Every structure is written in C-alpha cells, then in structure tokens.
Structure 1
Amino acid sequence: MGKFPKALLAMLLVFLLALVAACSSDDATTEPDADGETEDVETDDGEAAGSEDGLYSIDDFTNVKMADGEEILDGGSITFGLVLDSPFEGILNWNFYQSNPDAQVLQWFDDALIDWDENYVMTQDGAATYEISEDGRTFTFTIRDNVNWHDGEPVTAEDWAFAHEVIGHPNYDGIRFDDTLRNVEGIEEYHNGEADHISGIEVVDEKTLKITYKKATPSLMTGGVWYYPLAKHIFGDMDIEDISSSPEVRQNPIGFGPFKVENVVPGESVVYSKNEDYWRGEPNLDEVVLKVVSPNVVMQSLRSGEVDLVHSFPADQFPDNADTSNLDWLGVVDRAYTYIGFKLGTWEDGEVKTDPDAKMADVNLRRAMWHAIDNDAVGERFYHGLRWAGTTLIPPSHPEFHDDTNPGRAYDPELAKQLLDEAGYEDVDGDGFREDLEGNELVINFASMSGGDIAEPLAQYYIQAWEQVGLKVQLLDGRLHEFNAFYDRVEEDDPDIDIYQGAWGVGIDVDPSGLYGRRAPFNYTRWSSEENDRLLEEALSEEAFDVEKRQEIYKEWQQLMVDEVPVIPTLYRSEIVPVNKRIVNWAIGDGHGVYRHELGITQEEPVVAE
C-alpha cells in the first residue's frame, strides 16, 4: 500500500480496524427466537439435525467442506445444478450480466481481478495487487504476469481500462453504469460525449493500470472499484451496442478463471473444461457440467447423483431432506434478502422519476401493508426458521452496519386498519374491500415469481393478509411469472404492476446506493427523495472513514426507509447448500480462502442415496 498523509492513514486504519472488530463479534448474525431456544445440533458429518419443534438455526451449519485427509482423485467430472424453473438468460460477461443465474454460470469460468477477505476488505491476494496514493484517490493496480485469458492472451491493463470505457459509453446497453463507476474521474464527461477518453484512467504499461477517483471513500476498499476486465482483443472492434448480444458473450464466452467454456446450450447447460494455465494453479477436476434443474425435482437429482451440488437450494425443502444419506449440508447467513417493492415512478434519461400520483404513493398505504403481514410466521411456516423477518434494508450479513435495534414495522393488523382509516381508505360499498381516496375501486396488482412448491402459497398468504385489513390485492394476470419475464416487466416499469415480490443479493460493499440511489437502474421501485440522496452521499464522504460516523449515517438511512417504505424487507435468508459426499474443498459465503480450482472428488462416481 502506498504512503498516506497521516490524517487519511489514521482514518483508513480506524475504518479497517473497526470493521474487523465488528465482523469478528460473536453477535455477527441474528436469528429469530421461535418459541424459545431450538435444540439443533451439528452431527459429526456436518449434517444439521432439527429440533423437536421443526425449526432450524443457521448457527448449526458449517460453510466449508474440506478434504480433511481424504485422497482427492486426479481429474474427474462433476455436475452443478442451476436451480431455476426457466432458462438462464445467458448474458455471460460480468460487464453486462444482470441476473443471479447468469452470475452462477460466470463464476465457474471468470474471476474478479481483486480479492477480498471475510470482512469485505480488498486484499493483495487476487489476480491484481494495488497501491494507493497519499490522498486516497488514486489506485495503481498491477495484474500478475501469469494471468491470461483462456485463449492464451494476457489479461492487460488495456482490458481493464476498456471495460470502463464500454460501461461508460453512451451506447452501453447494460446496467453497470452507476454511482460506483461515476466516481471515476472524467467518466461522466466521457459518458456525456464531452471527452473522447476517461481522464482518470491511465494505462501505465501492459500490466499496470492507474485509476483516479473523484473522491476517496470508505467504499473504495470494500467494493467501490470495478474489478472485471473486458478482452479488448476480442471486443475492441465491435460496436458497443452489439457486444452483449454477440456470440462471444452468448455462445463462446471467455474468461481467465479456473475452467473454460467448451459448449453452451443456451439457457439450459454449459460444459467447462479445466484451465491448465489458471493463475492460481491447475484445477483438480477435468470437467464441470452445469445444467438447469427445476426446483421441483432438485432433490430427486441430488439423491440419484445426477447432480453433485447446487447453489440456490430452496431452503423450504431442507427439513424433509436433512437426513439424505448421500449429502452433506453447508450453511451461512446469506448476503441477500427478499422484499416486496412498491412501484412509485419510472426510469427516464438515466435516473429515477418518482410519480407523486402513483397508485401506491400514499406512505400510509405502504406502512399499513407492512403492518398487515407476519413475516416471523412466514419464516417459521414456510422456511422452518432458515429465513426470518426482515427489519431494515441492510441485512445481518453486514453486522457492522445492520441496525439490529431497529424493529422495522411489527405485525399489527389493527394498526394497519387504523392507518388506512385515518388516510381515508374506506369500504364505501360494503363489499369488504376499501376504495381509494376518491371512492373508486382499489385493486392492487401483485407481481410474483414462480419457482418451487411454496411460491404460490406464499404469494397467497400475503394476498390473504392484506385482505384481512380490507385491501383487494390480486396476482398480476392472475398467475405467477417465470424469472425472466417477471424481471423484464419490473425493469420496464410495466404500468400494470403496483407491487412486486423480489430478492436482492447484496454486494460486498454495504453502500446501498446501487439499489436505492436516484441514478441506480436497479432502483426498481423508482422511489427517490432529497433526504435519501443526502444520506447516501454522506455515507461515502471523507467523514465516513470514521466507522462510527458511517454507522450513524446508515442507521439514520435504515430508519428513513422504515418510515418511507419504498420496499418491505420481508425475509433475511440462510444459504443452505447440499453437496454430494464425494465432493471436497467446497465452501460458500465470503472470505473463506477456498477457491474453485481446489474443488475435487474422492471417488469417480457420485454417491447415491440409500
């Protein structure tokens, strides 16, 4: 790390030391207290045993399965199940992808250039190292000499600079040009056509890139850097608007990760072979096969050995399968939450336009809808304690900033009715449902995704809970929608959608502006306010290097979102992952130091359930 002026060095050290202390606390995660303490225990083989009340705790799982002296076969093939009830979209490049399923495909063959530790702080252990200037604004990155694309060409500083140029280009058709990228000096002038290059990016030599940011922020150490290069020797001559749909992204993607893509059946499967030239070392496995597996048959595929491991396992299926003889179970507090969002505006000219006359614009209507639903009961009934009621929009996966003193909005249907009464939503015609403020029929269209056995009953639970307080809510088009169609309509601000149920995987950086900022494409609610702008900006200011100050700002922001309710955080989540007993050197979560090239098997054929 480069030299800092004493003041900035002191601030950064305080920030990092406080971050480490907070993340190593025994109170790093929270769990619901379901009828007193559960009696879950961890068995010798890593399988979690449930309590008598049928509830489980994420504290009773490990997140790593190592070889522990078992002999690892040289080579072999495994099958990874992508749990999805529809085809994956297939935008297979980090600079353009939009969805978690595509990210799961990408993780096998492409890496970030920077690594981070269990506290989400950048390390020097990745494919690139870094130094920081005295004022904390300029980062000099050096890509290791043995980091090469799968076609043998070196990953260069030009590739990294090119990724910024593509994302910042006015013809870029992806969603990555957000406030993180806008912090690069000169990128907005480039984006607006006022400059033909990005002044804050300098290619020093083949392997060295210097990036200057407009301001030093604590987020630069925890995710505020764009980590992903774009192969200029492949994409450099393409029109920017054609890259995301090109065969080089959809059918023949390239990366520099542990495996390389051999074949893609669009939306269905991918075959990878090992990258013998991988910079961390040659992978143990010869081959990985990724295939889409419906959540309805995922356990059948795991029991038969057709699939060795999956990532997004439906947590509601765990209790009935916890004792499956051929599986070990890993678990960790997920960096994610589910939520119900209110459509409050549109996306125009690169920013949110909040509509004060939107159907769901009345804050008391939104508050009432939160009070009407019992998410503690949802977590217990549908997920057996492996998901639990959300309270704020910074989840407990980030314990140093999650405000565990904020209760959110408690289940209180009588308060919900009172709020609606006081706001003027009355049942004018006596049919049991409230009319709007003008006395007209109020019907709220609810978009929700298909997938798994509980998708329909969960959506119906919410609809019935709202009915109990006099609100008529109905499924959009009378049915659930598959993943891609659902997000297409949400992203396009379909006027038929009033509310929707979604989920966010939270970035390693706690900064929520990428989801709720005024210029964030992922701000699907299209809600904005000057107070929200102020708090998000202050949390990235120089004074926020003081962790206590940043905690104070985010505490205030979490309360603002509880007050304004652009979304209801419904459930915090556990990530529960089954792995075939032949699988070793596999881990979930962050900062565990186990990498995919180490993944191996202890026998040629999968273990089959008895």
Structure 2
Amino acid sequence: MRKVMGSRYVFVSLMLVLALMLGACTSNGGNGAAESASPGASAEPTASASAAPAEDDGLYSIEDFNKVKINEGTALKGGSVTYGLVSDTPFEGTLNFNFYSSNPDAMVLQWFDEGLLTWDANYVYTNDGAATYEVSEDGRTFTFTIRDNVNWQDGQPVTAEDWLFAHEIIGHKDYDGPRYDSNFTNIEGMQEYHDGKAKTISGIKVLGDKQLQITYIQSTPSLLTGGVWTYPLAKHIFGDMDVAKISSSKEVREKPIGFGPFKVKSIVPGESVVFEKNADYWRGEPALDEVMLKVINPTTVVQQLESGGVDLVDSFPVDQYPDNAGMSNVEFLGMIDRAYTYIGFKLGTWDKEAKVVKPNDKAKMGDVNLRKAMWQAVDNDAVGKKFYHGLRWNATTLIPPSHPEFHDSTNKGVTYDPEAAKKLLDDAGYKLNGEFRTNPDGSELVINFISMTGGDIAEPLARYYVQSWAAIGLNVNLEMVEFNSFYDRVGSNGDDDPAVDVYQAAWQVGIDVDPAGLYGKDAIYNFPRFETEENSRLLAEGVSEKAFDVSVRQGIYKEWQQYMVDQVPVFPTLYRSELVPVNKRIMNYAIGDGTGIYLHQLAVSQDKPFVAEK
C-alpha cells in the first residue's frame, strides 16, 4: 500500500487527536442487527467464551467468537429480560414488516412478528416455518400452506387472504412503504394491478383458508433465498382502511399485531416497548413471561450491561470491545455481519410517480474521476485497525463476505493512494485555486457531505474523511444528522434533499445476494439514484434462468462487483462484525442463522441479572 509522507502525517495526526478524545469516551453509533435465528444444523460453541487479540498487534478476529450462548445453570419457568436497543435517537415506530424502513424498527418487530417462511444457514427457505411450500417443475409457481395453529395475537387465524392482502397493499398505487420492487413486479399481473388496469393480481390465487398460490413471470434463483414476500397483513384489521393511511395508523404505531412469540403490551413511542408472552405461539408457549425493550444511548451501553440494567443488546459498539472484553457478567457472541458501511454520491433523484430512479447527467458528483479520487483519498484499512481493532475492516466490493459464495475476495477495490487521487483530479481538469480545487469549467466546487450522529467516534470519523478529501484539494462541508432525519434527506421517503451531494451510511443486506433491492432502477433504497443500461443488464442476468447455475451466477456478480468499483456510484468503506454481549443468566439464545434456536426458547437461570465484578 503506497503512502506519501504528507498524507500519512495528516492521517496519523488525526488518529492521535482521536485517541486523546476517545480516551475519556467509549461509544459508537453502530447500527448492527441481531436477528432471531432460523432453523438448520445446530451450532456448537467453542471452548472459549470470549476472544483474545491477535498476538502483539492488539487486533481481534471475529472468527474467534461463538454465535450460540453457552447455557449455565437451569432454566426457570417464566421470568423477564430487558433488551437494549442501542441508538442515540428514538426508534421511528413503523411497526409492521410491510411498511418499516429502519433497522431499529426491525429490532422491535422481531419480538412480536415474523415471516411465514424461515431459512437455513445457506439462506435457503425451508419447510420448518409457519408455512410450508412446494414449487412447480418450471420453478414459477409456488404453493404455500400456512399451518393450522398459526394465529394473529388477537386470536384470529393467519389466512391466505392475509398473505394476498399484503401483496395487494404493497402493489397499490397509494402504498407509501419501501417494498414495491422487482420481486413484486415479477409476479404475474402485478404491474397491471399497480397501474390500475386490473382489480386483482392474476398471478396470486387463494386456494383455501390456509393455502396460497403465487405464479411468477420468471423463475429466478432468488425466489428461494428471499424473493418471496413472506409477511402477511391482517385483513380483518386493515381491510377497510385507506392504503395511504395504514403506515401512520395506531394499528401500526400504537397497537401493532403479529403472530410471533410475544405480544405488544405497551409502547412509549420511540423509547420502550413491553412485550408479554404469546401463549398461543405456533412453535410453543414462550419460556419467558415478559420482555422489556428500551432504547439505550451508545455512551451508556457499558454501564447498562455491567449493572444488569439490560440482559442483552441488539449490537455492541465494537470500538468499545477491547476495554470491556473481560466484562465478568456477560458472554460476547459474534459473527460477520451481513452489512457494510459506505460513502454514497447523489447522481439523480427518485421519480415518485413512476417509482424509478431518475439519473441527472449534470449532477455535481457526476464525474467518475471525482468519485474515484475521493475513494483513493481515504485509508479504510487504517480506519478499521485504529478505530475498530480489526472487528471492522477495509471493504472492497458491494457484496460483503457474509455471502462467501458470491463475494469476490480477489477484487481489491480501489486502494488508498492520495498522490494518484491528486493526479486523477489534475488530469480531469479540477485545478487547484489556492487551497481547494475548482470545477473543470473554473467555477467553485463545494461538496456537501452528511453523516449520521451516533457515539463519540461518529463525528471524528466523518471529519477524518473530510480532512482526507481536503488533503487532495477538495472543499467538503460536513453536516452531522440524527438517524431518522438522515434517511429522510437521502431519500427513504422518495424526497431527495438537493443540498446533499455525498453521504455516509450503512446497509444491512438481505439474505438473498441479489443487490437489485439496493441498486436496481426501481429500488427506492437506491439512494445514489444510479442507473445505467449495463447495471440493469447485470442485475437482470443475476436472477435469470442461466443464473440457476451457481458458477454462472458467481461470474455475473463478479462482473457486477467490478463494474460498481469502476463506476463508483458508492464505495464501501468497512465490512462489519456484529458483537452481542449476553448476561450470563440468559439461556437458549443465539445470533445469526442456522442455529435452530428461536426467541420463544429464550430463558433465564435466575430472577435477576448477574452484575459485573468491580
């Protein structure tokens, strides 16, 4: 890795400043997600319950952590636990899978609702969930059967009509959520229904109270790994409601309902939720009587864990791990997260009416040379080591290593080289005029950059990027924005803030490797608003009939990863670990997929949490 002394000095100086700042602080604005496990082969914990740093270098490896909590003691009947949702802002409170858009809301949802299908460790749907399925020989028609004992928490059965109703709402022209994308337009008759040319979706048929059939236009390898929408919507509750008003209704925000292991008992909006057990849960009566979920600030997570104020959290700020690895009352679980952090460039807007990306060929960040230079200017390898002690590391492509079959480990992305960045800008006509560069036409170039607030690292890290870009002559203004406002401004509601040129964010990717939900032309989550014929071609080929051959699909996504490296609509910065500390009284708990452990099995070995020894 090439470094020049001037740029290296800028980086090291900033690291020294940050080290002093962080000496008295221990927090981070991470937004990782712990999920209820899916069935599959049981995962056995290794002998060590915590990881140690690699010899001499002070770095840790996520490979040294367990995914399954080691049980200690005997499970009590009943009891309660407290779950900490680590965030510096309230959760938004859109508590329905058909409408939510933020990870904190998903962390609330997991306790009282779930999908009708589950998946195994390889992210393939199984027949072990609340519904089973059969697939026709041509791979286009799925027949689903919901189990007889699957009921909504008000006692009404979950029906095939509810599953159809979810598709009708998401496909409706007045739907205001983020789910309508290529997975839905691939259903026969969905486009005609969405356009108002048909009153029903011809490709979906209710065969009985508990049986639904869906026929897709094209059989794709993604259908078995996340391409089927598995979240029903209670028609007896929402059936007479205006579609445009459902997401803001009290039935979504104040009194949500599901068919998961716990029921919502009470909500303090944005702050806390009390859940009580759902004795009628289809997998069996939960072991616990109650779960208390509360939002805790990243700056207080350590104190909350040490005191027993929370039993477990959705995710632990990994920068705080080295100072707390020996916390005596918890066991740290860990895994490679299905996530990456990235820098995005605004290249267009969202067409709300057509529900497609609308590229802008005159966008300020439209020059790929400018975008590539900004990638070359930042040393993410050093960031991962210095800030995160090896538990986050330099990212290279937009398919993370959580999907090892498709992540191209041979692709090194764009490497840190500030001198090459300067030359690239020089050659592209961005000339220095004093401290900063102008546009090629000689006009002033000021780049507006927004990043999310979080813990003490959030702003210094964003300022490192600004300083790195200043070192190559770019004038970048930083604005720190809280979580919910941030995503509004980058376009989660379809309204792109024209004042935003560049942003730093993170994606928790789906179980299916298909990246069209983030970078397709009809994906509202395509926040850079990037679209080209080549991008559409590669994404389409990735779910084509020929992609059923895994080696062919690997080749397609290898090509797509390189294409996105070349085009730089966004660039990945860090791949992420997920660390979850769990109080030692907790039993039957796991993170990730394929463990065969579910939230209804969660139990405790004593009434009160263990408290850390001082």
TM over 0.5: yes
Residues 451 and 481, structure 2, Cα contact 8 Å, conserved in 1: yes
* Structure 1 segment 43-62 matched on structure 2, within 5 A: 44=47, 46-51=49-54, 52-62=56-66
State the Cα distance separating 1:44 from its structure 2 match.
Answer: 4.8
SS in 2 for 1:352: strand
Distance 1:514 1:343 in 2: 17
Residues 43 and 49, structure 1, Cα contact 8 Å, conserved in 2: no
Q: Identity across aligned pairs (percent)? A: 67
Give the gaps of 5 or more residues in structure 1: 1-22, 25-41
After TM superposition, where is structure 1 displaced by more than 4 Å over at least 4 residues in a row? 42-45
* Structure 1 counterpart of 2:413: 408
Q: What TM-score results when the alignment is normalised by the length of structure 1?
A: 0.91
Residues 117 and 590, structure 1, Cα contact 8 Å, conserved in 2: yes
Distance 1:457 1:147 in 2: 49
Residues 332 and 576, structure 1, Cα contact 8 Å, conserved in 2: yes
State the Cα distance separating 1:49 from its structure 2 match.
Answer: 2.1
| 1:488 maps to 2:493 | no
| 1:221 maps to 2:221 | no
Distance 1:418 1:601 in 2: 61
Distance 2:596 2:364 in 1: 48
Distance 2:309 2:382 in 1: 35
* Structure 1 segment 325-340 matched on structure 2, within 5 A: 325-340=328-343
Residues 45 and 328, structure 1, Cα contact 8 Å, conserved in 2: no
Distance 1:334 1:603 in 2: 31
| 1:375 maps to 2:356 | no
Distance 1:210 1:296 in 2: 49
State the Cα distance separating 1:591 from its structure 2 match.
Answer: 2.1
* Structure 1 segment 381-530 matched on structure 2, within 5 A: 381-428=386-433, 430=434, 432-476=435-479, 480-491=480-491, 492-530=495-533
* Structure 2 counterpart of 1:8: none
* Structure 2 counterpart of 1:356: 361
SS in 2 for 1:575: strand
Query: Please, which moves more after superposition, 438-447 or 572-581?
Result: 438-447
Distance 2:575 2:596 in 1: 25
SS in 2 for 1:543: helix
Residues 46 and 66, structure 2, Cα contact 8 Å, conserved in 1: no
Give the gaps of 5 or more residues in structure 2: 1-39
* Structure 1 segment 193-232 matched on structure 2, within 5 A: 193-232=196-235
Distance 2:261 2:586 in 1: 17
* Structure 2 counterpart of 1:576: 579
Residues 195-237 of structure 1 deviation map (CA, whole Å, 9 limit, x = unaligned): 0000000000000000000010000111100010000010011
Which amino acid in structure 1 is aligned with residue 403 of structure 2? Answer: H
Structure 1 residues 48 and 532, CA gap change in structure 2 (3 angstroms): same
Which amino acid in structure 2 is aligned with residue 363 of structure 1? Answer: V
Question: Which structure carries more relative contact order (alpha carbon 8 Å, separation 6+)?
Answer: 2
Which amino acid in structure 1 is aligned with residue 114 of structure 2? Answer: D
2:68 aligned to which of 61, 64, 67 = 64
Residues 48 and 60, structure 1, Cα contact 8 Å, conserved in 2: yes
2:165 aligned to which of 159, 162, 166 = 162
Distance 1:47 1:363 in 2: 44
Residues 433-474 of structure 1 deviation map (CA, whole Å, 9 limit, x = unaligned): 111112122111110000111001100111111111111112
SS in 1 for 2:437: coil
Count of matched residue positions in the alignment of Structure 1 and Structure 2: 565
Distance 1:463 1:83 in 2: 26
1:558 aligned to which of 545, 561, 567 = 561
State the Cα distance separating 1:43 from its structure 2 match.
Answer: 8.9
Distance 1:394 1:556 in 2: 12
State the Cα distance separating 1:525 from its structure 2 match.
Answer: 0.3
Residues 454-513 of structure 1 deviation map (CA, whole Å, 9 limit, x = unaligned): 00110011111111111111213xxx1110011111112111111000000000000000
State the Cα distance separating 1:585 from its structure 2 match.
Answer: 1.1
Alignment RMSD, CA only?
A: 1.3
Residues 282-313 of structure 1 deviation map (CA, whole Å, 9 limit, x = unaligned): 11110000000000111111111001100122
Distance 1:560 1:583 in 2: 46
Residues 133-164 of structure 1 deviation map (CA, whole Å, 9 limit, x = unaligned): 12110000000001000011110000000000
Residues 78 and 289, structure 1, Cα contact 8 Å, conserved in 2: yes
* Structure 1 segment 106-255 matched on structure 2, within 5 A: 106-255=109-258
